[in-house]
């Protein structure tokens, strides 16, 4: 909700018990509040055309690669890794290769390694790809970190962000044991949207707002007044340090001052981590009134995310026509 509001698409929800809402700046969009675990399926079956959920949930729950696809994979929040973790006390097991050996050892002794997880599909595929074939998955939906202590599994595959929960439960991540890196993503059902131009237009607007906001985030717009003989002179001074001269070079415009001096307004977009470098450079160029402002949006010629989504729809239609 905070992320959408920061993108200028604030969601109105009458109260926390109401499971529907609206976006006043994009009339025509109905918002459905669902559990993160259910969102992929809701979008896949078409009860919602788009959704926001963790990439982990998308990859685990979708039934095929075409029915629900990510439009934007990195919304910049909800970052976590899906990892394999074993008890700290397993001193000889530190990597995924050690785990492969252990699985074999267990098997030879007539036992199976038990792994508790909420994402069996992702985990099974990951283990098979690494030649680990002997294991039993123990399905669990929460507080997995307690499984080895409680005794219902030998190790776990679960989400970790700061690593605190694993540490507190005396577990360690295996080297090479990151199964998936995830963050919140925007997903959509291509066939549901392809059939309705009005919905597709709303999907485009929503994607544009999110994408342009995320694209703007790493930058400040800096403005300053610089004295000089001509606009060319001023821009040459600024461009002497190309790495802090803006993403496309500075915009330089004459200031019509009452003092009849030759002042120019300079405006540039710079990466946030170069702010003080850019300020020093502008000062060296004689800049005054140096101001930096947070950008809300940065639009390109077209939304790359939406163009990618449309390409995907086109290739699905192509395949469908081919089969017909």
Ligand X SMILES: Nc1ncnc2c1ncn2[C@@H]1O[C@H](COP(=O)(O)OP(=O)(O)OP(=O)(O)O)[C@@H](O)[C@H]1O
Ligand Y SMILES: O=P(O)(O)OC[C@H]1O[C@H](OP(=O)(O)OP(=O)(O)O)[C@H](O)[C@@H]1O
- Residues of this chain that bind ligand X (CB under 6 A): 35-37, 54, 56-57, 78-80, 159, 161, 182
Minimum CB–partner distance for residue 238 and ligand X (Å): 41
Choice from 133, 143, 304, 317 touching ligand Y (CB under 6 A): 143
Minimum CB–partner distance for residue 13 and ligand X (Å): 16
164 vs 273, which CB is nearer to ligand X? 164
* Residue facing ligand X at closest CB distance: 54
The reply to whether 162 sits near ligand Y by the rule CB under 6 A is yes
> Which of ligand X, ligand Y, none interacts with 100 (beta carbon under 5 to 8 A by kind)?
none
> Which of ligand X, ligand Y, none interacts with 143 (beta carbon under 5 to 8 A by kind)?
ligand Y
162 vs 273, which CB is nearer to ligand Y? 162
56 vs 208, which CB is nearer to ligand X? 56
Half-sphere exposure (Cβ direction) of 80: Cα atoms closer than 13 Å: 20
What mask, x for binding ligand Y by CB under 6 A, covers residues 91 to 130? ----------------------------------------
> Which of ligand X, ligand Y, none interacts with 205 (beta carbon under 5 to 8 A by kind)?
none
92 vs 168, which CB is nearer to ligand Y? 168
Angle formed at CA 181 by CA 114 and CA 30, multiple of 5 degrees: 110
> Which of ligand X, ligand Y, none interacts with 37 (beta carbon under 5 to 8 A by kind)?
ligand X
Minimum CB–partner distance for residue 207 and ligand X (Å): 20
168 vs 260, which CB is nearer to ligand X? 168
40 vs 160, which CB is nearer to ligand Y? 160
The reply to whether 160 sits near ligand Y by the rule CB under 6 A is yes
Minimum CB–partner distance for residue 79 and ligand X (Å): 6
Sequence-ordered list of residues with C-beta below 8 angstroms from that of 199, at least 6 positions apart, any chain: 49, 192, 193
CA torsion through residues 234, 236, 237, 242, sign: positive
166 vs 252, which CB is nearer to ligand X? 166
Q: Could you tell me which stretch among 24-32, 58-66, 125-133, 141-149 binds ligand Y (CB under 6 A)?
A: 141-149
Distances (CA, A) of 8 to 18, 170, 206: 22, 43, 10
Contacts 24+ apart (CB under 8 A), 226-233: 226/252, 226/263, 226/264, 226/266, 226/282, 226/285, 226/286, 226/287, 226/288, 227/261, 227/262, 227/263, 227/264, 227/286, 228/262, 228/264, 228/286, 229/262, 230/262, 231/264
Choice from 1, 32, 150, 161 touching ligand Y (CB under 6 A): 161
Question: CA-CA distance, 95 to 174, in Å (whole number)?
Answer: 5
**20-22 and 30-32 strand pairing:** antiparallel
Residues of the shown chain interacting with ligand Y in the complex, contacts defined by CB under 6 A: 142-143, 145, 158-165
């Amino acid at each position: 909700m905070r992320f959408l509001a920061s993108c200028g698409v604030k969601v109105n929800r009458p109260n926390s018990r109401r499971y529907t809402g609206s976006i006043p700046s994009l009339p025509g969009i109905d918002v459905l509040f669902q559990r993160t675990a259910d969102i992929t399926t809701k979008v896949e079956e078409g009860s919602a055309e788009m959704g926001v959920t963790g990439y982990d949930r998308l990859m685990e729950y979708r039934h095929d690669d075409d029915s629900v696809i990510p439009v934007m994979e990195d919304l910049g929040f909800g970052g976590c890794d899906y990892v394999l973790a074993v008890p700290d006390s397993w001193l000889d097991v530190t990597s995924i290769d050690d785990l492969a050996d252990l699985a074999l050892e267990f098997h030879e002794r007539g036992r199976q390694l038990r792994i508790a997880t909420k994402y069996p599909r992702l985990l099974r595929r990951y283990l098979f790809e690494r030649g680990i074939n002997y294991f039993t998955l123990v399905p669990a939906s929460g507080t997995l970190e307690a499984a080895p202590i409680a005794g219902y599994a030998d190790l776990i595959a679960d989400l970790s962000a700061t690593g605190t929960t694993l540490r507190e439960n005396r577990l360690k991540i295996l080297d090479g044991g990151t199964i998936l890196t995830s963050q919140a993503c925007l997903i959509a059902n291509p066939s549901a949207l392809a059939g309705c131009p009005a919905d597709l237009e709303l999907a485009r607007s929503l994607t544009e707002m999110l994408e342009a906001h995320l694209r703007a985030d790493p930058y400040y717009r800096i403005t300053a007044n610089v004295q000089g003989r001509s606009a060319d002179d001023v821009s040459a001074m600024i461009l002497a340090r190309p790495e802090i001269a803006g993403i496309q070079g500075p915009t330089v415009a004459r200031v019509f001052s009452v003092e009849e001096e030759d002042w120019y307004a300079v405006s540039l977009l710079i990466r946030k981590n170069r702010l003080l470098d850019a300020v020093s450079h502008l000062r060296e160029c004689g800049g005054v009134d140096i101001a930096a402002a947070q950008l809300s949006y940065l639009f390109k010629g077209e939304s790359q995310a939406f163009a990618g989504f449309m390409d995907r729809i086109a290739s699905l239609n192509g395949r469908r026509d081919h089969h017909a």
